[in-house]
Amino acid sequence: MDEEIKTEGAPPGPAPVKRSNLLTILCILTIVNGGLTLISSIFVAAFYDQFVVIATELAEKLKMPGLEMITEGKPPFFFMNAILYGVSIAGALMMWRMIRNGFHVYTIAQIVLILSPMYFFKLSGPSIFDILLSGTFVMLYATQLKTMK
């Protein structure tokens, strides 16, 4: 007498694919960095005038380069950054759940993040550092695409 073996509670179909350690690390780094940048961008945009005063004073006292982004930027730039980092986090969360389309969402957000300072600051080209950092993450994520559904 042949009986079917039934496993209670197990969904039908193939077993879920386990997320690799590399994908886990990449997603965590993306979510933490993106979350901190999203929050800081919202605060800078919301309290822009106060941040300009603080950044100007710090730049004069400490002779710190790089603070001109806050003083030369405008609230729309920081709101755009917040939105793009939110999209980037959404892509990372999708990849965390092994959803392949998250890679495309993340990659598009990174491309726009690299290009947006050119529009807002009238720059002639993108930052090489941003290209290298984002490009490295995109390439590392791309190596994990074969395991995602």
pLDDT tens across 53-78, in order? 888 887 778 776 666 667 778 899 99
Number of domains in the chain: 1
Structural domain includes residue 66: no
pLDDT tens across 18-62, in order? 899 999 999 999 999 999 999 999 999 999 999 888 888 877 787
Enclosing domain of residue 40: 21-46+74-147
Structural domain includes residue 67: no
Alpha helices (H) along the chain: 21-46, 48-62, 68-72, 75-96, 101-120, 128-142
Prediction pTM value: 0.83
